Amino acid sequence: MPDAHAGAAAPSVFAVAFKDAALAALVALGLAAPMLGLVTVQTQSGIELEQHWGRVAIAVAIVFAGRLLLNLTLWRPGRKKSLGYVPPKVEARLARFAKYLAPLAILGAVVMPMLPFTERYAIDLGILVLTYVMLGWGLNIVVGLAGLLDLGYVAFYAVGAYSYALLAQYFGLSFWVCLPLAGILAAFWGVILGFPVLRLRGDYLAIVTLAFGEIIRIVLLNWYWFTGGPNGISGIPRPSFFGLDFDRGDDGFAATFGLDYSPLHRIVFLYYLILALALITNFVTIRLRRLPIGRAWEALREDEIACRSLGINTVNTKLTAFALGAMFAGFAGSFFATRQGFISPESFVFMESALILAIVVLGGMGSQFGVAVAAVVMIGGFELFREFSDYRMITFGLVMVLIMIWRPRGLVSTRSPSVFLKEKKAISGSLVQEGHG
Amino acid sequence: MEYFLQQLINGVTLGSIYGLIAIGYTMVYGIIGMINFAHGDVFMVGSFMALIVFLALLALGVTFMPLALLIVLILAMALTSLYGWTVERIAYRPLRGSFRLAPLISAIGMSIFLQNMVQVAQGARVKPLPPVITGGYQFGAAEGFVVNVSNVQIIIVVTTIALMVAFSLIVSKTPLGRAQRACEQDRKMAALLGIDVDRTISLTFVMGAALASVAGLMYLLYYGVIDFYIGFVAGVKAFTAAVLGGIGSLPGAMLGGLLIGLIETFWSAYFTVEYKDVAAFSILAIVLIFLPSGLLGRPEVEKV
Amino acid sequence: MIDDAPALPPELLLRVERLTMRFGGLTAVNDVSFDVRRGEITALIGPNGAGKTTVFNCITGFYKPTVGRLTLASKEGPLLLERLRDHQISRKANVARTFQNIRLFGGMTALENLLVAQHAPLMKASGLTVLGVLGIGGFNKAERAAIEKAKVWLERIGLIDRADDPAADLPYGDQRRLEIARAMCTEPVLLCLDEPAAGLNPRESLELNALLRSIRDEDGAAVLLIEHDMSVVMEISDHVVVLDYGKKISDGAPLHVRNDPKVIAAYLGVEDEEVESVENEISAEASS
């Protein structure tokens, strides 16, 4: 805006902003008045309404002030670049920066439990975050690389968890035997469920995977004699350090290594276990991207018809992505079971699938680093707000919306080529397709 | 026989509710090609709106039931529509034309937000409403079997049919419906021809939310109990219904809703209640595998 | 290989017999037969909606013909193309194709595009991925060879300097050539090109002609192309097949086809009666 006009235009800008904010406040009043102002309470005589107009006033005031502020700052007419805009050059530099950041992050993750000021809580949180990092990386193969929208990923997590729990319960198998078995079983289920549905496209695939996720959960919930139904399975054996249990006994981990027994040993061990599992997932995925199968996944995401014309068996290629993604979920699931010692269908609801998918999309589809950052931000942030339990889910939902509006392609939106002749150039996300399957 | 007829009537009632929600999914999908994941929660909000308005009317002394229900219907539709409009405005419009998964995630975020907002605002406990409409008809007493049709069921089915007819007319006959169909075909071209695309899409969300609120009211009357979590399951099933019927098709949504309602009811009646959802989802998977575009959907021709 | 696939005469690569394709009530291709000879460039021409792309889609396995037999003389003997699934067409029959609206992997680099085309041999070398993940077996060597091959093609189409750029960033003409190179990386015996010259400027069009000739002469692949641009067709093709309304109306050397009154009528869009009258005139001239 030229300076000469600034003086004359300023009040009108304010007037427009004010009017807009007033309208927004009016809408907010309509939304909030019945929902926040009139609360249904059950009393002895039946159900009645309680009036809470204070809350309505607060909500309306927040909307009005927020909208006015935004109108005068970020949304002011004439402001060209939106908040989420990052120039491609900066983005490319960030991507290069990420290359050095990733080893640093891994190093940080490795030394974290050894630091003197690290508390048990931090390690527990680390385990949780790393579990989601691993799940995110696993789903990234399916959604980010192969472009298949899977809304039922948690089913494979559940298959892994229940595989270990049931194999341990019925056959007394140890964690180390069950871990690969759980992965294989989950992959097997991935193939079984994937085979009939992978020819479906786009949102049909999404809804069928969602349905399968729910079916598996409902079966786990109702198959009482086998899975314990809603009570779940408890007393799942804890992992051993290659045969050494983490207990006070003479042949326990602490005694064998001449250490004083500490319950922290097991926690630290679990931390390194999930770190190792996650890094294996990452390593395998990075490796796969450079192999023909990984390129075929990405090609499939870009253009399925062209893939077929080049002799790529699209059904098998999709199935491999589905099965491998499921396998990593299976590993993560058996880890979850051994860590918790107790599992029930409660842990495998659709929300979990949505959360993992959100991590992948927020991180930037296909980007290993972005997914890890998104997992840390989402899960870590979520846990840090534990005290505000009532409001944290509300905030969580709202933050998901805001991040998507801010960066629809996720935090790291560039694609890094799997091979190069002279120079590895980051590919702008706007050129990369997101898949139709 | 009487058991069968009774279940048929129950299934049709349930199916009407699913069908009304499914229309919201199908219209939105038709026009902007996205799964409005928050629609199930808009339905839940609708049922709460109905309950709140109803209780407010009782508190104000409006006790003549037909009048009270009519006011509840209208107010609940209006208030829920506002929610539908706001959800679109905040969570979807800024993402229009971008990446396909972004609105989906944003919708999931919106769904989490609505669910928890209602939980915090209204409390997590279930909200029971004593039966408002009582009575009904009995058929076949003379022939030796008894089939009950309650007044609630009659109201639900009749209202559904009336709304279906009304909305079909809107879509096929009015300028708004024409604009919607134009946006469905080609949004850019529609905009070039002077159609206000944003407004058309907003109105689609408003219509979907209005129908969902009617479904919410019916759910409240039929089951007499609601909570903040009913949106998820009902939403997933209604979306299943929309896909089953052929997404994008209004009659398809209604047909899909009816089928899901019937499958669920009959499965519960003749097999096990626990696995009724498994039955509904399995049918969905099977139908999609053999008929990828649903029952009444237009088959998708692969362009090479 | 398949019992009832008859052997073709040695000079033939592909024989299309009585090909018919119906979509519901619409007959897009009606009883079309023609041959593609080894070492030749065959052009399939015709006005819009004549059914050219449908013929292509049948040959390359994207459609299953309603009626008809498509016999290809592969290295291992005659093959019936209509019995193969789309991805097998490339692998078993070595038929490659491009698309009317370019279908490159836009978010992948030019080099990656050419490597995806070498999927089958690389997949074998990676021990179906298992050995590749562990880094054992001959995968690295195979990948180096694949990159070398890709480099050769990038040189031939003049895109070696843009090897690391995303395909979607390339200019239109380069994308066309990259798509042809990608198809050639599958080492086809028959290369099917759907309007390769569409949208090219005259210079690019000339380059394309040279490329297609070199594919015929140096790589020994037969080329079957759909083209609208008559100058391209007349310039490079050895054999022309003309379709109109799903039927073959002419077949022969470019010169023969150019003077065929039916072809002229189809292209100029005259009524059927007029064609007949033109035909009558010609036959009258011939007999007199």
pLDDT by residue (tens digit) across B89-107?
Answer: 999 998 887 777 888 889 9
Banded model confidence at residue A348, pLDDT cuts 50, 70, 90 = very high
Mean pLDDT, to the nearest integer, of C232-239?
86
| Residue A44 confidence (pLDDT) | 81
Query: Which range has the worst mean pLDDT, B51-55, B173-177, B206-210?
Result: B173-177
Q: What is the pLDDT of residue C2?
A: 47
Do C230 and C117 reside in the same domain of the chain?
no
Residues C20 and C123 in one domain: no
The answer to whether residue C197 is domain-embedded is yes
Overall average pLDDT of the A249-271 stretch: 77
Asked if the structure places residue C99 within a domain, the reply is: no
pLDDT, position C274:
61
Mean pLDDT across the stretch B216-243? 90
Assign A82 a pLDDT band (cuts: 50, 70, 90).
low
For A212, nearest residue in chain B (alpha carbons): B281
Give the angle A242-A245-A247 at the CA atoms, nearest 5°.
155
Q: Which of residues 106-165 of A touch B (CB under 8 A)?
A: 143, 149
CB-nearest partner of A415 from C104, C107, C126: C107
Q: How many structural domains comprise chain C?
A: 2
Greater confidence (C181 vs A393) lies with C181
For residue C19, the enclosing domain spans 1-94+188-288
**Residues 284-303 of chain B whose Cβ lies under 8 A from any Cβ of chain C:** 302
Looking at chain A from residue 241 to 300, which residues have their Cβ under 8 Å from any Cβ of chain B? none
Q: What is the pLDDT of residues B258-286, one digit of tens each?
A: 999 999 999 988 888 888 888 888 887 88
The number of helix segments (H) and strand segments (E) in chain A equals: 17, 4
Q: Where are the domains of chain A?
A: 3-72, 88-431
Residue A193 has pLDDT above 60, yes or no: yes
Domain annotation covers residue B102: yes
User: In this structure, is residue B166 part of a structural domain?
Assistant: yes
> Domain A88-431 is of which CATH architecture?
Orthogonal Bundle (1.10)
- Write down the pLDDT at residue C273: 62
* Nearest residue on chain B to C103, alpha-carbon basis: B304
Does residue A287 contact residue A137 with C-beta atoms inside 8 Å? no
**Do residues C75 and C16 share a domain?**
yes
B113 → closest Cβ in A55, A197, A397 = A397
Is B112 part of any domain?
yes
- Rounded CA separation A165/C185 (Å): 49
State the nearest Cα–Cα gap between B181 and chain C, in angstroms: 25
Domain identity same for C182 and C195: no
Residue A85: the pLDDT is 60
User: What is the structure's pLDDT at A1?
Assistant: 39
Domain count, chain B: 1
Cβ-based contacts of B281 with chain A (< 8 Å): 211-212, 214-215
Cα–Cα distance between A286 and A284 in angstroms, integer? 6
Domain identity same for C115 and C168? yes
CB contact under 8 A, B302 and C62: yes
Instruction: Let me know: does A267 contact A273? Beta carbons within 8 Å.
Output: no
Q: What is the pLDDT of residue A437?
A: 54
The per-residue pLDDT for A88 is 63
User: Residues A106, A283: contact at Cβ < 8 Å?
Assistant: no
Q: Are residues C206 and C65 in the same domain?
A: yes
With cut-offs at 50, 70 and 90, classify the pLDDT of residue B157: very high
Q: What is the pLDDT of residue C270?
A: 60
The model's confidence at residue A80, banded by pLDDT at 50, 70 and 90, is low
Q: Which DSSP symbol is given to C39?
A: T
C207: CATH: 3.40.50.300
Contact partners for chain A, using 3 or more CB pairs closer than 8 A, are B, C
Query: What residues of chain A lie within 8 A of the CB of C120, using their CB?
Result: 311
Is the pLDDT at B301 greater than 50? The verdict is yes
What was the pLDDT predicted at A130? 93
* Single-letter code of the amino acid located at C229: D
Q: Of A316, A407, A425, A362, nearest to A143 (Cα)?
A: A362
CB B94 within 8 A of CB A405: yes
pLDDT band at A46 (very low <50, low <70, confident <90, very high): confident
Record: contact A311-C119, CB cut-off 8 A: yes
- Of A8-17, B56-65, B218-227, C96-105, the range with the lowest mean pLDDT is A8-17
| Residue B94 neighbours by CB under 8 Å, 6+ apart | A405
Instruction: Read off the pLDDT of each residue in A421-432 and give the average, rounded to a whole number.
Output: 77
Q: Which residues contact C193 (CB under 8 A, 6 or more apart)?
A: C97, C98, C180, C183, C212, C223, C224, C225, C226
Residue B235 lies in a domain: no
The per-residue pLDDT for C6 is 76
Query: Which range of residues forms the domain containing residue B60?
Result: 16-227
**To the nearest whole percent, how much of chain B has pLDDT over 70?**
96
Q: What pLDDT score was predicted for residue B148?
A: 83
Q: Distance between CA A95 and CA A31 in Å, rounded?
A: 42
Would you say residue C8 lies in a domain? yes
pLDDT category at B72 given cuts 50, 70, 90 is very high
Distance from CA of A388 to the nearest CA of C (A): 43
| B297: pLDDT strictly greater than 80 | no
Q: Does residue B10 or residue A43 have the better pLDDT?
A: B10
Residue at B190 is within a domain: yes
Choose the mutation target among C164, C182, C186 for the interface with A, i.e. most A CBs under 10 Å: C164
Average pLDDT over residues B233-248: 87
Interface list for A 382-411 with B (CB within 8 A): 390-391, 393-394, 396-401, 404-405, 408-409
Give me the half-sphere count of Cα atoms (radius 13 Å) on the Cβ side of residue C70.
Answer: 23
Identify the residue with better confidence: B64 or A95.
B64
**pLDDT tens-place string over residues C23-71:** 878 888 888 888 988 888 999 888 888 888 888 889 888 888 888 888 8
Q: Which residues, 6+ apart, have CB-to-CB distance to A404 below 8 Å?
A: A361, A362, B91, B95, B102, B103, B105, B106, B109
Chain B contacts in chain A segment 10-49 (CB below 8 A)? 27, 30-31, 34-36, 38-42, 46-49
Q: pLDDT band at residue A337, thresholds of 50, 70 and 90? A: very high
- Of residues B228 and C286, more confidence is placed in B228
Per-residue model confidence (pLDDT) at position C126: 75
Residue C90 has pLDDT above 70, yes or no: yes
* Spatial distance between the Cα atoms of B82 and B80, rounded to a whole number of angstroms: 5
Asked if B237 and B220 count as a contact pair (C-beta separation under 8 A), the reply is: no
The predicted model gives B41-64 an average pLDDT of 92
Whether A287 contacts chain C with CB within 8 A: yes
Q: Contact at 8 Å (CB) between C282 and C259?
A: no
Residue A366 or A10, more confident: A366
pLDDT at residue C287, as a whole number: 61
Contact assessment for residue C50 and residue C243, using Cβ atoms and an 8 Å cutoff: yes
Please tell me if residue B274 touches chain C, with a CB cutoff of 8 Å: no
Write down the pLDDT at residue A5.
Answer: 47
